[in-house]
Every structure is written in structure tokens, then in C-alpha cells.
Amino acid sequence: MKNIYSNILKFNNSNLKKIVKYLKKGGLVGIPTETVYGLAGNAYSDTTVKKIYQIKKRPSKNPLIIHYYSLAELEKDAILNKIFFKLYKKFCPGPITFVLRKKHFSNISVHASSKLKTIAVRFPDHFIIKKILKKIPFPLAIPSANKSGGVSPTSPIDVADEFKKKLKFIINGGSCKIGLESTVVDLTGKLKILRPGYISGKKIGQVIHVKVKLNKNSKKIKSPGMLKKHYSPDIPMKLNQKKSGKDNAFITFGKNYKKTRHTFNLSKKSNLNEAAKNLYKTFRKIKKMKYKKISVVKIPNRGIGIAINDRLKHAAR
């Protein structure tokens, strides 16, 4: 039988050269970050960026995050402000994305930022992606490496399962340390958190000395019928359940739930970081086991628990 995972590459110097060459030619690569695996391509190239949208089946209106190695590089593309520098100093490289005003003469493909006047940027913290970024003369546009609307991948096998052999290379960087996507903060006006993540509003507030709230608008349901699911294993899901229906997959947290063959405990020790790391892995496992329904217990809404609950809410819509 043909090895369906043969496009997963071990990370070493000769493969690093191969990857760099391939990215320079306009190729797309499955790449590990500290949050989730991404699908990386040259952010300056219209053709490459269009390929990202195509392979992910991503609506062109949903802009991409541009990943950088150095501030000097970012300065060519975005207008930086005081708050940005404070947060950069504290958290970067790390799991935080900033939405900034785009510079008029930026070389970033207009498709990557969906023709907006803003751009989302991030400095990822994983030794593999840092080595790659250091060796290429352009930043990388990197969405999570999953089909649009689905569950983000947290291992190279997940990426291969998403795109099969459509990707020539997926770099093996093991399991992602965090397991949920970066916190997205809008710095183009009054600071807003557009997507919660490992770096909480509380931690951000401590750096800039204001109380930060989650953006209310992003939670607003404009037209329920038009709501698109996100981060979703595409299985009906009920949240805040005390017990599970018969034959449902039951996602639990902590020690208070009886273990059965249908329970999937995110963290027996009630550790929210561990739960975050296990969430998408668990969704994928449950999907592979062909469950028809999922029940989830209540997850504490503090720290990264806020991000877990945000993803659960989107997945359950």
C-alpha cells in the first residue's frame, strides 16, 4: 500500500533548503507553529496567495495573517503604533496577531488582506518556522492548514488528512504546544480582541494598563440563517451538558465525570492549557470514530478557557 503520509518531511538542513527553494518558487507548505499547523506561501505573490484560497476553499473576503521574522520587515508593510510596540515587546514572538493599518506601498498581495486597508500580522514562535522565515526574502501568508470552516490541525498527520497529496511538503514539527489559534487584537482604533487565544484580554490589559473586553460585535449574530460554522468537526454538538445522551461522544473536563468508552476527557487534572491542547485533537478523534452527536460539559470561562469556549460556541452553531 502506498504511504499516504509520505509528504511529511523530517526537519533537517537538507529539507530546510528544499522547503526554502520551494517557497521561493511559489509553492505552498504545511508548516508547524506554536498554535496550530498552517498552510504557508509567499505573501507578496498574488498567484501563491490565490492558491491558498483555492486549496482551502476559503471565501476571498476572509483575510490572511502575515507572518514575519523581524520588525524591520514588518515596518515596510504596516503602520506601527505605541500600543503595538508595548505588546510586541511583551509577547513576541508568540501566539498573538495584530491588526494594523496597511502601508500604501506595501508589497503584500491585495488578495491576502481581502483588499482591506488593514493587515493582520504575527511573529510565530516555533524554531522551524523561524528558521524558514530567516532564510526567505518575503513574509509568509499562513492560514490554519484546514479546509475553510473546519477544525485547525495540530499535527502533521492532521494536515495530510485535510489535503491528502495536494501538498508536496508538510514539515513534521510534532504536536503544537498550544493547540488553539493565536489571539487576534485590532489596534487600528480602540483595542479590541477579535479572536480570543492563549494570551488573554487580562494579560493584554496588564501591559497597556486598561481593562480589555472581548469585541461584542464579533459575537453579534447578524442573520442566524447565514451563520457559517467555524472550527467545526461538522457533527451536531450540545454545550454545557451535565450528562451525555446515549451513544453520544461526551467531551469532559476534570474528575467529576464517570469514564466510559464514549468519554473524551480534555484534562483530568482540570488544567485549561492541557484542555486547549487536546480540544481539536479530540474533535478529530471523535470524527474518525464516526460519532453522530457530541455533548460537551461546561468549561471554566477564564484564561485560555475563554478561547476554548469561543471555539466550542462556533463549532456548535
Binding positions for ligand TXA, rule: CB under 6 A: 33, 35-36, 38, 62-65, 97, 99, 113, 116, 118-120, 122, 124, 142-144, 181-182, 184, 194-195
Strand-pairing partners, residue 202, are none
Instruction: Select the span of 18-26, 70-78, 98-106, 140-148 touching Mg ion (CB under 5 A).
Output: 140-148
Out of 144, 267, 282, 295, the residue judged to bind Mg ion by CB under 5 A: 144
Decide which of Mg ion, ligand TXA, none touches 119; Cβ closer than 5 to 8 Å per partner kind.
ligand TXA
Instruction: Select the span of 79-87, 136-144, 195-203, 234-242 touching Mg ion (CB under 5 A).
Output: 136-144
Instruction: Select the span of 60-68, 138-146, 161-169, 249-257 touching Mg ion (CB under 5 A).
Output: 138-146
Exposed / middle / buried, residue 82 (Cβ in 10 Å: 0-12, 13-18, 19+): exposed
Closest approach, Cβ 120 to ligand TXA, in A, equals: 3
Exposed / middle / buried, residue 30 (Cβ in 10 Å: 0-12, 13-18, 19+): buried
Integer Cα distance of 164 and 40 in angstroms: 16
Closest approach, Cβ 129 to ligand TXA, in A, equals: 9
CA dihedral 213, 219, 222, 223 (to 10 degrees): -170
Q: Closest CB to Mg ion among 36 and 304?
A: 36
Decide which of ligand TXA, Mg ion, none touches 142; Cβ closer than 5 to 8 Å per partner kind.
ligand TXA
Q: Please report how the helices 272-288 and 305-316 are oriented relative to each other, as an axis angle in degrees rounded to 10.
A: 20
Return the C-alpha cell found at 244: 451525555
Q: Closest CB to Mg ion among 144 and 215?
A: 144
Return the C-alpha cell found at 239: 454545550
Integer Cα distance of 30 and 14 in angstroms: 17
Helices (H) and strands (E) in the chain, counts: 9, 15
Closest approach, Cβ 152 to Mg ion, in A, equals: 6
Q: Closest CB to ligand TXA among 62 and 301?
A: 62
Q: Closest CB to ligand TXA among 42 and 118?
A: 118
Residue 14 contacts residue 3 (beta carbons within 8 Å): no
Closest approach, Cβ 297 to ligand TXA, in A, equals: 26
Return the C-alpha cell found at 20: 526554502
